Amino acid sequence: MILPAAKCGACNMQRYSLFNLIRQSLGYHRGWQSNWRTPAPKDHYDIVIVGGGGHGLATAYYLAKKHGINRVAVIEKGWLGGGNTGRNTTIVRSNYLYDESSALFEHAMQLWEGLSQELNYNVMFSQRGLMHLAHNEHDLHEITRRCHAIRMNGIDSELLTPRQIKQRVPMINLNARFPVLGALYQGRAGTARHDAVAWGYARGADALGVDIIQNCEVLGFDIQNNEVRGVHTTQGLIRADKVGCVAAGNSSVLAAKAGLKLPLESATLQAFVSEPLKPMLDSVVTSNTVHCYVSQSDKGELVIGGSSDPYNSYSQRGGFDQIEHVVGPMVELYPVISRLKMMRQWGGTVDLAPDRSPILGESAVSNLYFNCGWGTGGFKAPPGSGDLFADSLANDRMHPILQPFGLERFTSGELIDEGAAAGVAH
């Protein structure tokens, strides 16, 4: 028995709901449709997005949804969400120091807050709160400054005392070698299910007519008179009026194919999980001073990360020394985890910009746009990045929130230096 699918409004997307889940259960789930088609590339699109991660798929989704542009293809050299979207530690926050960053990440945060409903796909966005620990006077100075600045931008932010931290994170050792003196806390921050973000946007975009083409690698750009006309791919030439490259760690490689250099360096960022445990940690806790951050997934694994490996690499592999640099502080801060075990580790290729802020804008080649440089913090923004990038591509000008994030800042000197101000930005 294959049940007819309940459709979703105007598009032909099967609606997800408890009712439909039960209904499909009766038919042993044989009635569920594919989340996306497997189309052959068309000859020409209005816009081609290179990169099928969260940012690229979100861009395509909003182009179709908000701007009615559905002659759009997303070209992915591997599998959807196979880059950093599927390799991060799923942390979402919007508490950045500078006004420009606040505007961008808070825009993303507000979209996150309704994303499951928007996509009719549960991305498990869980606003369980995030704290940045301070371990010395300099840290306290730094988080206090940020707390004030963030509040000034209307974003929730508070300072926690060690006692308040201990209440939220009972397993923490306040008297570690570098004691816990306080924390910057954002209650609306939290985690989301990373794969679901790619899948939800892909399903939504596909239903709106976007062609998602996996296993299709870009080999070069068709550029005439300094204007991009299409992309050469492993599935042939795909013509396009505009091309948006949203390829994270591989952005420099794409840029080189267009004869461009970007202010980016690609490095490996590792992460790992423990074996699954019963609930033991509600908040996300990060520490810049000792470089570790941790949350507990819904499956029960502790999801742990630190800073990126020190050298440029595209290998998606890092060294064990970096793991040691993260586990040491973890055990020092949370001594009860000593007998727990690291179950699986992995690495992603992050695209680090000199000021640790993303880069969104048109390149020196007309109609060739880049959305990159998200570095270690890309998962905080796919909804906002996609929405604003789509708006910019649709209207042939950068959205006001994105204007400070263009490539020009590296010539003018107007950096948005979250890196200088905060060390690493997780």
Q: Which of residues 304-333 bind other proteins (CB under 8 A)?
A: 310-315, 317, 319-321, 323-324, 327-332
- The SS3 of residue 36 is coil
Q: With binding defined as CB under 8 A, does residue 153 bind other proteins?
A: yes
Residue 231 CB, shortest distance to other proteins, in Å, is: 17
Helix, strand, or coil here: 52? coil
Using the rule CB under 8 A, is 4 a contact of other proteins?
A: no
Q: Which of residues 301 and 387 has its CB atom nearest to other proteins in the complex? A: 301
Using CB under 8 A as the binding rule, whether residue 161 contacts other proteins is answered as no
> Which residues are CB-contacts of 130 (< 8 A; sequence separation ≥ 6)?
91, 93, 95, 185, 186, 189, 190, 283, 284, 285, 286
162 is a contact residue toward other proteins (CB under 8 A) = no
Q: How far is the CB of 85 from other proteins (least distance, A)?
A: 11
Residue window 333-372: x/- pattern of binding to other proteins, with contact defined by CB under 8 A: --xxxxxxxxxxxx-------x------------------
> What strand order describes the sheet that includes 182-186?
158-160, 182-186, 130-134, 284-287, 292-296, 302-305, 265-274
Q: What is the DSSP string of 302-332?
A: EEEE-PPPSSB-SSS---HHHHHHHHHHHHH
Nearer to other proteins, 49 or 421 (CB): 421
> Which residue, 120 or 403, is less far from other proteins as judged by CB?
120
CB 312 to other proteins: min, Å = 6
Give the integer Cα–Cα distance in Å for 312 and 112.
31
| Sole binder of other proteins in the list 195, 217, 222, 241 (CB under 8 A) | 195
Binding track, positions 376-415, relative to other proteins; x by CB under 8 A: ----------------------------------xxxxxx
Give just the sign of the alpha carbon dihedral 201, 206, 209, 213: positive
Shortest Cβ distance from residue 310 to other proteins (Å)?
A: 5
Q: Which residue lies nearer to other proteins by CB, 287 or 394? A: 287
Task: Provide the residue count of the chain.
Answer: 426
Query: Is residue 80 classed exposed, middle or buried when 0-12, 13-18 and 19+ CB atoms within 10 A define those classes?
Result: buried
Nearest distance from residue 315's CB to other proteins, in Å? Answer: 5
